[in-house]
């Protein structure tokens, strides 16, 4: 690769932050919804978004090169399939909002501090962990929660690959608003579920809408660092451990191990960071996000095996899903 080529390759990578901000602002302006199933003139879009027309044109030009919009003719635009995924009805809209929120930016500004100390940028910037911060900032919490709750299709694909025994009691630890557990119950008519999360989370939800599932669901509030509901047949930790460093992940796992009866199983649903391939960069960047925001980490298969063994489990198998998330079965 020539000197200019390497120079340009680095420049393209450094512009990643600019691209994310351009998409965030486009979403904040409502451009994806304005361009849904329609074509709009630049002047219409400027009026609808209360924007400076020449400046908006420059943003639209960038979005065109990102293939988020199409310029049908000079200054006449329509949305693409990517644009459709950024509408308010899609979780990626809310993820785009959340990724551009102040707390994310300020946490990432502390990346160097996080690398030098191992302490999250979030705690360094705000003196609080993410959950405490979001409890105090309802608008940012809305963006974050809607981004997570919009993953129903992915949850269903993950739930589809595991054979839950008839009559099993499934305890979803840190299960949030219950979408994943609801998908499990909907697919397994004899399974009963226990949704376990922090009291503010449990108090804010009404349970699962499907009445057939709701009759088989219990809601319990608590702290998984202090106690875990007993008498489950299968304990689920879906994208919980990546929020925590190894020491605190061990505490969660040991609390589960302590109350699990003979024959009970643990399912850990997480991204397994690959060493190479199409998901390697994605996994590495997500790992940095976990460090900066939570002080947590994404893990390789060996790292999962190590933390499970240290907390008294044996890793039995890893089940691939149609998503980047795998299911790790342990007992």
Question: How high does pLDDT run on average in the chain?
Answer: 93
When pLDDT is averaged across residues 31-59 and rounded to a whole number, the result is 97
pLDDT of residue 144: 87
Q: Collapsing DSSP states into helix, strand and coil, what is residue 128?
A: coil
Domain architecture of the chain: domains with CATH: 3-84 (1.10.10.10), 91-148 (no CATH), 151-275+292-330 (3.40.50.150)
At residue 127, the pLDDT reads 95
Confidence label for 179 from pLDDT (cuts 50, 70 and 90): confident
User: What percentage of the chain carries pLDDT values higher than 70?
Assistant: 96
Q: What is the dihedral of CA 135, 137, 138, 142, to 10 degrees?
A: -90
Between 206 and 295, residue with greater pLDDT: 295
**Catalytic status, residue 65:** no
- 207 pLDDT exceeds 60? no
In the predicted model, is pLDDT for residue 157 greater than 80? yes
Catalytic pick from 24, 93, 143, 242?
242
């Amino acid at each position: 690769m020539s000197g200019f080529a390497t120079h340009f390759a680095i420049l393209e990578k450094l512009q990643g932050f600019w691209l994310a901000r351009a998409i965030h602002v486009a979403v904040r302006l409502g451009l994806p919804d304005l361009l849904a199933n329609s074509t709009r003139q630049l002047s219409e879009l400027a009026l609808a978004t209360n924007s400076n027309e020449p400046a908006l044109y420059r943003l639209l030009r960038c979005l065109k090169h990102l293939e988020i919009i199409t310029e049908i003719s000079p200054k006449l635009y329509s949305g693409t399939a990517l644009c459709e995924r950024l509408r308010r009805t899609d979780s990626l809209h809310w993820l785009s909002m959340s990724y551009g929120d102040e707390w994310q930016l300020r946490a990432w500004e502390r990346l160097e501090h996080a690398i030098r100390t191992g302490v999250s940028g979030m705690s360094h910037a705000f003196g609080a962990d993410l959950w405490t911060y979001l409890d105090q900032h309802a608008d940012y919490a809305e963006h974050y929660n809607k981004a997570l709750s919009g993953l129903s299709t992915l949850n269903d694909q993950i739930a589809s690959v595991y054979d839950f025994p008839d009559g099993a009691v499934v305890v979803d630890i840190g299960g949030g608003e219950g979408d994943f557990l609801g998908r499990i119950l909907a697919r397994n008519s004899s399974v009963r579920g226990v949704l376990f999360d922090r009291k503010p989370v449990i108090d804010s939800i009404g349970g699962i809408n499907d009445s057939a599932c709701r009759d088989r669901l219990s809601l319990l509030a608590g702290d998984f660092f202090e106690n875990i509901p007993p008498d489950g047949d299968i304990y689920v930790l879906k994208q919980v451990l990546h929020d925590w460093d190894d020491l605190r992940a061990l505490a969660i796992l040991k609390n589960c191990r302590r109350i699990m009866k003979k024959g009970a199983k643990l399912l850990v649903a997480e991204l397994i960071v690959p060493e190479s391939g199409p998901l390697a960069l994605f996994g590495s960047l997500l790992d940095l996000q976990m460090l900066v925001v939570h002080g947590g980490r994404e893990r390789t298969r060996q790292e999962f095996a190590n933390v499970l063994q240290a907390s008294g489990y044996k890793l039995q198998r890893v089940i691939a899903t149609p998503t980047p998330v795998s299911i790790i079965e342990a007992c």
